[in-house]
A and B are shown apart, each in its own frame.
Chain A
Amino acid sequence: MIEIRDLYKRYHNHHGSHWVLQDINLTIPTGVSVGLLGRNGAGKSTLLRLIGGMDTPDRGVITRSSRVSWPIGLAGGFQGSMTGRQNVRFVARIHGAGAGIDEIIAQVEAFAEIGEAFDEPVKTYSSGMRSRLAFGLSLAFDFDVYLSDEATAVGDRAFKAKAQAAFQERIGKASLIMVSHGEGVLREFCEAGILLERGKARWFDDINAAIDAYHLAIDGRKSTPLVVPTSLTEAKQVLKQANREFEQIRLDYQIAGDDPARNDPDDILRWRLEDARERMLEARRYVQQFQSPAP
């Protein structure tokens, strides 16, 4: 269980400092996977970092009564000049693996499937390779809660299936707290949701309700979930639909272009545009998945 009490967080910058998170009170029960939702800059990654203990709150308490992983994501977690093997060895050592280090390294190497690159510096890796390594590394330790910052968004279809299988294996033992813009991924992995808006957090027992509330908050309307396609032709249809919606919204946005409210973060059109863009990208990923050769 993770308890967050009266949490406040802000960052100081040149434009003064406003609260990123304000008076957050949440209890995340054991064994429930949670999706974090909110617009860009709403504080999703900040909350995840705070839960992971990478950052300290300005006020308030976070009590973790279970083993929580570091935030698994694309940025951070690896030292670029060290090879994949050295990074894994380092992490195994700080977690006190002792004699089990070689076992962990072999396990990560087998899971990540990046071949020779395992002995190359991490800074030469592609984002897909990094996420494979990050994911493999986190799975080598028995955490109760895994924190994922867009980590599952990359990687090809074969790896995604493998990652999902690895998580399915741990359901009941481990849960997930994830930040993702992919609604399909959130629906797939999470049961509950947290919506972050203007520094406040709202808890939803059902991830679908959270996604609906997210759209209501941003667009002022509910959005139907993107249909998860089952074949290539269906995926192409979904993509076509998403493209059309995106073009329409972009046109609206351009017509309103001279409006001075355009750069206002509360500008609904802008958020609708970003949302449409994300839907389009998600649809494009589905098409790519079907086009890439199956394992």
Chain B
Amino acid sequence: MATDTLMPAPQAPGQQAARSSWRVACSVWFATFMREAISRTMADRMGWFWMIFEPLAIIAIMVSVRGLFMSGSHVSGADYVAWMVVGMMGFTLFRENMMRSIGAIEANRGLFAYRQVKPVDPVLVRCFLEGMLKSLIFLLFIVIGSLLKFELIPDHPFGVLLDWLSLWALGCGVGLTLSVAADLVPEIGKIARIMGLPLLLLSGVIIPAVYVPHQFRQYLLWNPIVHGLESMRLSFFGGYHTIDGIDMTYLWFWALGSITLGLALHMRFHDKLKAH
């Protein structure tokens, strides 16, 4: 194993003291964050517009489809539109964290020429940025939805916050793991992209989990996203009823497990990811 004694990073003019590794990491994160934030929000035409309009359009389509084909459109204990908004937001938080992480290493490859930048940095930064953006949009939906008289004020705000952070952690963990896997084996990235839609259907975003026949519920509960979404809806709507067996500990096993696995993979394959 190589034991390369790294010098502290070179200094800018005027700064002569060697920086600690922590300071170097912080400046790399800040620089990467600024770069990612600019390219995420400014590079696409109407980047901001799509960020808000996309979930809005999906929710509008789902609500209207449901209104057309299914009468009696109510979920026990919650307003359907609000129920849908909460589920969709929670799910996109997870999915975007996963998807954005997969492309993070490839999109920043040119910057690995600087020894301060590690492959894990853009992934961490993207997860953070994605979480901030989605939180902002969720807040925006809550404010606008409430003004439009949908029941979008959470009954247990603190519980919602915890569930939101849990889904975020799960997305980061899966993203960290897949970012390494998809870079080493590109097919894994493609499969992850294909899995987006089935996951949406299997996570109880559109079809309430209580509609699932009793004998299949135990399999539905293998999916950690179901636990996160249902728990968040329980905190959101005081009178909401859902299937038995919702357990946040299970989700956290997944989240912490995948974060650990992802970070370990990043350490193990650091050289390979960088030199690719």
Interface residues of A (CB under 8 A from B): 52-71, 76-82, 86, 89-98, 100, 103-104, 140-143
Contact = CB atoms under 8 A, between A and B. Distances in A.
Interface residues of B, number: 39
B129 to A, nearest CB: 15
Nearest to A57: B2
B101 to A, nearest CB: 18
B116 interface: yes
Nearest to B272: A12
Interface stretch (B10-18, B70-78, B140-148, B188-196): B10-18
Contacts of B115: 52-54, 70
A97 to B, nearest CB: 4
Nearest to A64: B7
Given A79-B108, A90-B35, A95 B11 contact: yes
B39 A142 contact: no
Contacts of A100: 12-15
Given A64-B7, A86-B35, A104 B117 contact: no
Given A52-B115, A54-B115, A93 B34 contact: yes
Nearest to A7: B2
15 contacts: A52-B115, A55-B275, A62-B4, A66-B7, A70-B114, A76-B110, A77-B110, A78-B110, A81-B107, A93-B30, A94-B28, A94-B31, A94-B114, A95-B10, A103-B13
Contacts of B38: 86
Contacts of B31: 89-90, 93-94
B4 A61 contact: yes
B210 interface: no
Contacts of B107: 81
A140 to B, nearest CB: 8
Contacts of B35: 79, 82, 86, 90
Q: 7 tightest A-B contacts by CB?
A: A93-B31, A53-B115, A97-B12, A79-B110, A67-B10, A77-B113, A76-B113
Given A56-B271, A95-B9, A100-B14, A80 B110 contact: yes
Contacts of B274: 54-55
Given A54-B115, A78-B110, A96 B24 contact: yes
Given A53-B6, A82-B35, A98 B111 contact: no
